[in-house]
């Protein structure tokens, strides 16, 4: 129920109601007519390869705590996607990277707080020392033939598509 997301109109402060508009139930202000349109959450992820190995990080938070994924995170509003990918990689791994190509854009929210879209980039390290930080507790290279348990389907799809 979207009314759990937004309960009051940001224009006039009136409690919203749910009505079907533009093909979906949406929070609507009965006083001023304001309609809430949810924006998608966008994340970025980075694939770094070293020979037949890929860099993965282990999640330190739920959901999927203890499982592995590519260095990734949410974009901030107004942030350039490439810069967001570089920032997230630095925050989680201690590595400054240079994005070399766009791999894919995948959709499909995998959990309630997850991204609706994930932009995947290939990158190469330019400086820094590999160390886990931010919301991951380990960072390591793994052979594609011996991957640890992976957290997300989008990670699995990108690794399969790039092997």
- CATH label of the domain that carries residue 99: 3.90.79.10
**3-class DSSP state of 25:** strand
Sequence-separated (6 or more) residues with CB below 8 Å from residue 32: 9, 11, 12, 14
CB-based contact 153:43 (threshold 8 Å)? no
- Domain extent, residue 114, equals 42-161
Residue 158's region, left for phi above 0, alpha for psi from -120 to 50, else beta, is: alpha
pLDDT tops 80 at residue 1: no
The model's pTM: 0.90
Angle at the Cα of 100 from the Cα atoms of 126 and 89, rounded to 5 degrees: 55
Domain co-membership, 19 together with 48: no
pLDDT tops 80 at residue 2: no
Domain co-membership, 81 together with 53: yes
pLDDT in tens, 13-70: 999 999 999 999 999 999 999 999 988 999 999 999 999 999 999 999 999 999 999 9
At 80, list the tokens.
């350039």
> How far is it, in rounded angstroms, from Cα 149 to Cα 2?
33
pLDDT in tens, 97-143: 999 999 999 998 998 889 999 999 999 999 999 999 999 999 999 99
Number of residues that make up the chain: 163
> How far is it, in rounded angstroms, from Cα 130 to Cα 88?
13
Domain co-membership, 27 together with 106: no
β-strand 24-28 against 53-59: which pairing, if any?
unpaired
């Amino acid at each position: 129920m979207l009314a759990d997301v937004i309960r009051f109109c940001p224009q006039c402060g009136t409690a919203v109601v749910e009505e079907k508009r533009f093909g979906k139930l949406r929070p609507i202000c009965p006083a001023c007519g304001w309609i809430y349109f949810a924006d998608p959450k966008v994340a970025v992820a980075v694939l770094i390869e070293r020979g037949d190995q890929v860099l993965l990080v282990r999640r330190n938070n739920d959901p999927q705590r203890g499982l592995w994924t590519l260095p990734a995170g949410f974009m901030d509003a107004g942030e350039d996607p490439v810069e967001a990918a570089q920032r997230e990689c630095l925050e989680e791994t201690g590595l400054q990277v240079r994005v070399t190509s766009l791999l894919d854009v995948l959709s499909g929210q995998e959990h309630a707080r997850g991204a609706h879209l994930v932009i995947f980039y290939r990158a190469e390290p330019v400086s820094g020392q590999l160390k886990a930080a931010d919301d991951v507790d380990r960072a390591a290279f793994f052979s594609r033939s011996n991957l640890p348990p992976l957290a997300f389907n989008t990670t699995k799809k990108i690794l399969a598509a790039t092997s």
